Structure 1
Amino acid sequence: MSIERPVAPDPYPLLPAVPSFSVTSADVTDGEPLKDDQVAALGNTSPQLSWSGAPEGTKSFTITCFDPDAPTPSGFWHWVLVDVPADVTSLDTGAGAEGASLPGSAFMCRNDGGGHAFMGAAPPQGDQVHRYYFVVHAVKEDTLGVDADASAAVVSFNLAFKTAGRAILYGTYQH
């Protein structure tokens, strides 16, 4: 079943412009289909991520996974990890698991499924191809100023004022 609708825009050019830097992954190839591990029903595992070249003055990082193609007006947030220390430049595969050991005072906020962990790709069966944006946000503050109960919308609102740079990688999935 396809839910007929136009393809959503890439959301990041719609935000205030900030410098970009580099993010790579051993698990996600930019613009290509996700591995089974990153699909909710087949592994539900957050990918390995490495980043470099963050802007000077970066004091922490926030990592998110967002699907703008979900059949909702607000897309679907699969992962929200905040307050990653500025000296951290990578996360291992599975770092987004519930109860995972996170660096420094980093913690996960609620995803749109209601959990405090990475939630893998899970588009409606037969729907259009969905894009999953894994974004490393360089933050100008040591802490984003939210707690674990913050919604992704609240995290995004705070990022609008505290982002120094953004590194973007996306994978796709269709069920």
Structure 2
Amino acid sequence: MFREKCLTSPQLSWDDFPAGTKSFAITVYDPDAPTESGWWHWSAIDIPANIHQLKRGQSISSAGGKEIRNDFGTTAFGGACPPVGHGMHRYQFTIWALPYKNMPVPDTASAALVGYMLNQDALAKSRITATAMRK
């Protein structure tokens, strides 16, 4: 039940991005997942530079972007669902300003590859962190 309630992406908005921004990306990452590599909950890329907000539950395709497969194996927002009793998990929502309209990755790219490209090419990024836990 908890996970189903969290599958709707939150409302997000951003401004004050650098000149030369041609697209945005959004990632949601849990560094506290019980893996050696964390857990990618969402990777959305190629969001046009004229888009500066997403409504709660808005599809990325309706904003002109596309989603990359997350660690749940889907191309959608994968909500917070920390393991019961695992303690507090951080969910890092990051907006990335990019110098190109289309990220040069295949449609089958992993979230890790997208993360690499974002860290390599971003003009700027901004992050907010939410937390969740289940007892």
TM-score, normalised to structure 2's length? 0.93
The answer to whether the Cα contact below 8 Å between 2:68 and 2:107 also exists between their aligned partners in 1 is: yes
Match for residue 158 of structure 1 among 99, 117, 126:
117
Q: Deviations over 1:122-164 (max 9, x none)?
A: 1110111000011100011111112332111110111122100
Alignment correspondent of 1:27:
none
Count how many residue pairs are aligned between Structure 1 and Structure 2.
Answer: 134
Partner of 2:83: 124
Structure 1 residue 101: Cα displacement: 4.2
Identical-residue share of aligned pairs (%): 43
Q: Which residue is equivalent to 2:39?
A: 76
Per-residue deviation, residues 74-127 of structure 1 (Å, max 9, x unmatched): 10000000000011100110125xxx64222x1100000000000100111011
Q: SS state of the match for residue 52, structure 1?
A: coil
Q: Aligned partners of 1:57 and 1:69: how far apart in 2?
A: 34
Which residue of structure 2 lines up, in the alignment, with residue 103 of structure 1?
63
Instruction: Structure 1 unaligned segments of length 5 or more: list them.
Output: 1-35
Structure number with the higher strand fraction is 2
| 153-162 or 127-136, which deviates more | 153-162
Q: Say which SS state the counterpart of residue 102 (structure 1) adopts.
A: helix
Structure 2 counterpart of 1:22: none
Structure 1 runs, 4 residues or longer, greater than 4 Å off: none
TM-score (norm 1): 0.72
Contact preservation (8 Å) 2:97, 2:122: yes
Paired AA for residue 62 in structure 2: L
